[in-house]
Amino acid sequence: MDLKALHSVSYGLYVITSKDGERINGQIANTVFQISSEPPTIAISINKQNLTNELITKSGLFAVSVLRQETPLSLIGQFGFKSGRDVDKFAGINYRTTPQGLPYLVDDALASIEAKVIQSVDAGTHNIFIGELTAAEVLKQSNPMTYAYYHQVKRGSTPPSAPTYIKENERRKGMDIYECTICGYEYDPAEGDPENDIEPGTPFAELPDEWVCPVCGAGKDAFEKIG
């Protein structure tokens, strides 16, 4: 069975948030889709081990920030590769709150959606939360970030807890590609790191000592050669 067939299924990229009392948290997700228009309902898929899943289960509320195409990898790394149990993911982030007090991003979000959970489905490693919209706002006009754009253009990585994670069985050969052992980001010298002004053709060994992984912020010593 070739699980890469699933790569042809279209996804977006979002920050899902919730709260429990004064505690807030958010995470990256790619599984958000509309169920119906009357009443307006959407569904999200969240890993059971994530803090956001715990907060949604307790509060019965969640919010979605629809990310724009220009969203930096560092923000995706902050919400996708760090745990809200260890760090404050909203430190330094410009955010506002929905009518129910759920945080949503301002600078890199095209729209904010708030929903009340009306049904939860156990999907093994994940919970699927179906929510009826209680608020929605368009924040700016631009192209939304698609999962394909994130991988193919921004060359982002996928955490193992994501529903679309597929372990690679084959590596590209003949190129000095280095992989971040923390988040899985691959530095390809042929591509460089445009977001951090690293020109294409720059070997890993010639990266500045202060260069860090554009996704999770790990230093060069966290990278291993894979091809």
CATH 2.30.110.10 fits 4-153, yes or no: yes
Q: Do domains 4-153 and 170-226 have the same CATH topology?
A: no
Q: Helix or strand or coil: residue 21? A: coil
pTM: 0.78
| Cβ count within 10 A of residue 48 | 14
Q: What is the fold of 170-226?
A: Rubrerythrin, domain 2 (2.20.28)
Residue ranges with strand state E in 163-222: 178-180, 186-187
Q: Where are the domains of the chain?
A: 4-153, 170-226
* Per-residue pLDDT tens over the stretch 119-141: 999 999 999 999 999 999 999 99
Give the integer Cα–Cα distance in Å for 153 and 42: 28
Give the integer Cα–Cα distance in Å for 86 and 70: 27
Q: Helix or strand or coil: residue 160? A: coil
The pLDDT of residue 133 is 98
Give the integer Cα–Cα distance in Å for 143 and 158: 21
* Per-residue pLDDT tens over the stretch 66-123: 999 999 988 988 998 888 999 999 999 999 999 999 999 999 999 999 999 999 999 9
